[in-house]
Structure formats: structure tokens, C-alpha cells
Amino acid sequence: MNYDAIVIGSGISGGWAAKELSEKGLKTLLLERGREVKHGDYPTALKKPWEFPDRLQLTREDRETNPVQHHFYDESSRSFFIKDNDYPYIQTKPFFWAQGNQVGGRSLTWGRQCYRWSDLDFEANVKDGTAIDWPIRYKDIAPWYDYVEQYVGISGNKENLSQLPDGIFQQPMPLNCIEEHLKTSISKNYDHRILTIARVANLTEAIGNRGQCLKRNLCSRGCPFGAYFSSNSATIPTAFATGNLSLRPFSTVTEIIYDEKTQKAKGVRGIDTETMQPFEFYAKIIFLNASTIASAAILLNSVSSRFPNGMGNDSGELGHNLMDHHSSAGAWGEHPGYKEFYYKGRRPCGFLIPRFRNLREGEDLNFKRGYNIQGDGERREWQDATNTYPDEIGESFKKKLLAPGPWSVWMAGWGECLPYHENKVTLSSKKNKWGMPLVEIDFEFKSNENNMMEDIKTSCADMLEKAGFKNISTFNYDRPGGGTVHEMGTARMGNDPKTSVLNKYNQIHSVKNVFITDGSCMTSSACQNPSLTYMALTARACAFAVEELKKGNL
């Protein structure tokens, strides 16, 4: 069948591509590898903890049969992640690849943190001589940040920081008393640090059919109220409303078909994951949004006489420069005060301390770039206290558990990972049950990231100590790459086709009707959570693609 546009993948960026292209009048086919999930198909969203057979705990079977995915779910959200045995991949070095196998993908389980990049980020590579320069700057994407923020609905507070541009925000969620205490201490003791509430895609004001957040903090189960942004609650329904969208779940795309005569892509080839029947669909433009690693795999598998090493791989950079933020290092401490205060509800976000490292001349640090700090303050609850009274039972034990414990703050750094050519995705000669070559991932954090983690531990502990916290301890969970679920790179943007895969409009340099706007397009990683940037780049690329289509250039 023929369409105007095909979108591969229905996660955050794929949902946006489907919405934008459908709204602009293109007959659009959205292909999703996994099962269909419509907004509201969230069977665990309203369940109480005691209604789960395993009381939200992971079983031995979970840990043994899903050695990667079990790091990302509990009993309530298990259904939104693949089974490792169904989608095996090869880890040259340990790498956790979280995979959501349904319509909406990981937009159902993402952390919802939404931060803009600044020119500090877009200019970083060229200024410190790392990898290649970005082909865009903040002014190119700023209007598109505006555009997506108004649709998504992001709660947050304006802070007037050059390294973290303000956006269009709904009413911020409030900090609690211990977080306000830490905020005051940081302002008093440091010249270039602030603490603010996280900027998150949880509505504090309703938008259309999407209601405001009820502060249940059960977001990973799916939100029947539409209070957080997902493809299922927002972009896909909007696309369907145009009458221009067709959705096909259970559709694994294995390659993009290249037409040697026109020097364009003419469609996609794949397999129905239920019937095992092959399929082909054709379109004028194709948006590849399968997620960083899967998108790289599809391109690497799209070989022809023109592209023997993968579609668009003239530079040899396809699959390389894989990045993920590290978020393993930080500190924790207790505060003896504020015992007369408690809080109501379970706010679905914590606080943010924006980047403060490597912003000024003369900083003598042993790493490039920087990190932000994310954390939250709370009072110790009964689950945390069960090991405190190992020998007690009965009424007195229950009373002790019900008494709120001291205030504490947990905080950790989300740090930038540099783009290293040797961190890469390749294809194995082995294949999965659908005939797709297994992905092989070779990734490691290097000295720059490890040095940054040491600084994070020291900085976090110092801030807690100056704020009067006690029993302070630092930590490093030593999570491997993929643990933050911010994988990006592998098909980077750039000005020069000799060193990049995509141009400034997210087009493959040598195949102008193929656009890639998921995380694989990123040329560096910054330290901000990246999904807002994916959304803005997607909207921008869709507008450009439709105009080029009208002009007959595609």
C-alpha cells in the first residue's frame, strides 16, 4: 500500500511525527513493533499495593528471566517492558537496553523531566574540540521548544539561567519544607548554584481532555487521567482526529527500501510479529523513530549496492558515538529538624540543581562539561524502617512503623557523556526469531565521566553538610550504560556528510526523503534529560519535510 508518509516507532518522537504529518494533511502510516495500547488500557493504574500477588516486589523469576528489563520495572509496570528472551542482544560490555514493546513505547514509562538545551550545549563540541560541531544553535530550535511545550504542558518555575533556558510553564509544583531548607542553604553558601522544582510533563492545569495531576506518583503504570504526556494520551489521539492516520501494531520494520533510480527511499520492509508474514509499504517520506539503538539497527540492515554498509553510512559514523547519561553518583543525609511538618500526596517529581560546573573561566576541574543534580526530600516511611526493629512484633512494632521518621534528602548527578567513536552499535551474524540481525552494543563510560562522578559525590555531600544534614553518605551505584535510559547518538547530525549521517533538518545527507528525529540524531548529550529536544526537533523536521514535499524536492 502507498502512503504520503510512514513513521517507524510510536514512542515520544514517533508520536510527534505522526501528529505533525497527519495534521499537515499527509496520509500517514504509523508502524509499531509491539502490541496496541489505547489510552486508558492501563490495567494496574488504580490497583492498591495489596491487590498485587507479589505486593509490587520482583520475583526470582523476574530477575532470572529478565536480567536487563527487571532493572526498570516493578510488578505494576512489568507489562510495558519486553521479555529479554524475546528480544535478545549482545553486550560486548554491560549495557542495559530498556525496551517498551507497545504503542506508545517508553512514553508510557518515561521520567517526564523536560529541559531545554542552550548554546552552551550546542557549541560545546566545537569549543572544546570534541567530535564534530552541531549544525544548529539554540535560536534554530527555540521556537519549536515553545511550540511543543504549549502542547505537552510542562509545570515548572522560571529561573533566568543562561545554561538552562526558561520555557513556557504551567504552575510549578511546590517544594516541601526540607527542600526549601536546602534551597535556602545553597543560595546562602554558593554563588552559582540554585535549587528549583523539576520541570516535568505533569499537568498542574488541565489541557483539553487531559486532567491535572492528582499527585499519586504512579505514572509508570500509565495515567488514565492523561495528566502526564504520552503518545497514547496526546499525540496519537490528535493524529487520529485528523482522519489521516493509520496505525499498524505488531509490525517490525527490518529495513528501509532504497530506489537506485530515484536515489530515494521508496518504502519499508518488515514482518508481522504475530503472523510472521512479510510486508512492504511505500511512501514519499519516511520518519525513522524506532529509538536510538533500534533506528541504528534498521539503517545498518538497510543495505544496497549504493549503501553496502547501511543506508546513509557514507561517513562510516552510523552506529557510532553512542551516549547515555550517567546517574549513579550522589549523596544522602538526614536532617534533625522540621519534625512538626509532613506533606500531603506523592508529588511525581523532585528538585533540580541546574548545571554549575565548567560555566566560568578558571575552573580547575579534571573533566569536561558538567552535570545537573536531581533529588528529593521526604520523611522516612514504614518501608524504610522495617529493618530498624528486627526483633519486634505486635502493637508496639506497628506504632513505631506508623511514626514518621526523620527528614532526609537523596540527590544524584545526571552527567554528560562525551561522544566516543568507539562506543557503538553493530549487527551480529546471529538473528532473532523474526529474522532481524541481533544488535551488538559496545559501550563504556571513560575517565571524563568517572572523574565527573567523583565530583558529584563530593559536591552533593558538601551541600548537605552545609545545610546541617547528619549521617551523610555518598554512593555510586555503578550502573552501566543504558541505566539512565537516555541513549542517544548513532546517526548524528552535522554540516559535513563526510563526518555525519544527518543534516541540520534531520535528513539523511544522501537520502533526502528519510528523516531521523529520535535520540540517534544527537551530536552530543548535554546533561539535561533529552526528550523535550527530541520533540522539538521532530516538529521542526516535519514542518520542513512537508514544505519540501510541496516544492517537489522530495
C-alpha cell recorded at residue 205: 492545569
Output the pLDDT for position 521: 98
Mean pLDDT of 378-397: 78
Q: Reduced to 3 states, what is the DSSP secondary structure of residue 531?
A: helix
Cα(254)–Cα(242) distance, rounded to whole angstroms?
28
Crossing angle (nearest 10°) for helices 447-466 and 177-189: 100
Q: How many angstroms from the chain centroid is the CA of residue 256? A: 25
Q: Which of 113, 156, 10 is nearest to 538 (CA)?
A: 10
Output the pLDDT for position 382: 72
Cα(102)–Cα(236) distance, rounded to whole angstroms?
13
C-alpha cell recorded at residue 332: 544522602
Residue 238 has pLDDT above 70, yes or no: yes
Cα(373)–Cα(69) distance, rounded to whole angstroms?
25
Cα(463)–Cα(182) distance, rounded to whole angstroms?
8
Output the pLDDT for position 386: 67
CB 134 within 8 A of CB 125: yes
* pLDDT band at 362; cut points 50, 70, 90: confident
Report which secondary-structure segment, H or E, holds 1. Answer: none
CB 443 within 8 A of CB 296: no
Question: CB within 8 A of 55, min separation 6: which ones?
Answer: 49, 75
Residue 280 has pLDDT above 70, yes or no: yes
Q: Which of 418, 334, 405 is nearest to 371 (CA)?
A: 418
% of the chain residues with pLDDT over 90: 94
CB 485 within 8 A of CB 72: yes
Residue 391 has pLDDT above 80, yes or no: no
Residue 257 has pLDDT above 70, yes or no: yes
Output the pLDDT for position 37: 98
Mean pLDDT of 425-446: 96
Domains of the chain, CATH where assigned: 1-62+100-155+224-325+487-554 (3.50.50.60)
Question: CB within 8 A of 179, min separation 6: which ones?
Answer: 195, 351, 376, 377, 409
CB-based burial of residue 153 (10 Å sphere; 0-12 exposed, 13-18 middle, 19+ buried)? buried
Residue 175 has pLDDT above 80, yes or no: yes
Cα(31)–Cα(10) distance, rounded to whole angstroms?
7
C-alpha distances out from residue 285 to 264, 281, 382, Å: 9, 12, 55
Residue 344 has pLDDT above 70, yes or no: yes
* pLDDT band at 398; cut points 50, 70, 90: confident
* pLDDT band at 393; cut points 50, 70, 90: confident
Residue 422 has pLDDT above 70, yes or no: yes
CB 147 within 8 A of CB 536: yes
Cα(295)–Cα(291) distance, rounded to whole angstroms?
6
Cα(209)–Cα(6) distance, rounded to whole angstroms?
27
Q: What's the pLDDT tens digit per position in 470-509?
A: 999 999 999 999 999 999 999 999 999 999 999 999 999 9
Report the phi/psi class of residue 484: left, alpha or beta, with left for phi > 0 and alpha for psi in -120 to 50: alpha
Output the pLDDT for position 161: 98
Report phi then psi at 367, rounded to 5: -150, 155
Q: What's the pLDDT tens digit per position in 189-203?
A: 999 999 999 999 999
Handedness of CA 428, 430, 436, 441 (dihedral sign): negative
Q: What's the pLDDT tens digit per position in 159-171?
A: 999 999 999 999 9
For residues 511-535, one letter each, b for 16 or more C-beta atoms within 10 angstroms of the residue's C-beta and e for the rest, the string is: bbbbbbbbbbbbbbbbbbbbbbbbb
In the sheet that holds 90-91, the strands lie side by side as: 90-91, 437-442, 424-431
CB 273 within 8 A of CB 31: no
Output the pLDDT for position 193: 98
Q: What is the DSSP letter of 233?
A: I
Higher pLDDT, 259 or 381: 259
Residue 385 has pLDDT above 90, yes or no: no
Cα(35)–Cα(32) distance, rounded to whole angstroms?
8
Amino acid at 159: E
C-alpha cell recorded at residue 190: 554558593
Cα(243)–Cα(208) distance, rounded to whole angstroms?
19
Handedness of CA 536, 540, 545, 546 (dihedral sign): positive
Mean pLDDT of 234-242: 98
**Radius of gyration for the alpha carbons in the chain, expressed in angstroms and rounded:** 23
Mean pLDDT of 37-54: 96
Cα(405)–Cα(381) distance, rounded to whole angstroms?
6
Handedness of CA 384, 386, 388, 394 (dihedral sign): positive
How many CA atoms within 13 Å lie on the side-chain side of 45? 15
Torsion of CA 333, 337, 341, 343, to 10 degrees: -10
Looking up cell 552501566, which residue turns up? 480
| DSSP state string for 270-304 | EEETTT--EEEEEEEEEEE-S-HHHHHHHHHH---
Question: CB within 8 A of 150, min separation 6: which ones?
Answer: 168
The three-state (H, E, C) secondary structure of 430-462, written as one string: EECCCCCEEEEEECCCCHHHHHHHHHHHHHHHH
% of the chain residues with pLDDT over 70: 99
Cα(495)–Cα(500) distance, rounded to whole angstroms?
7
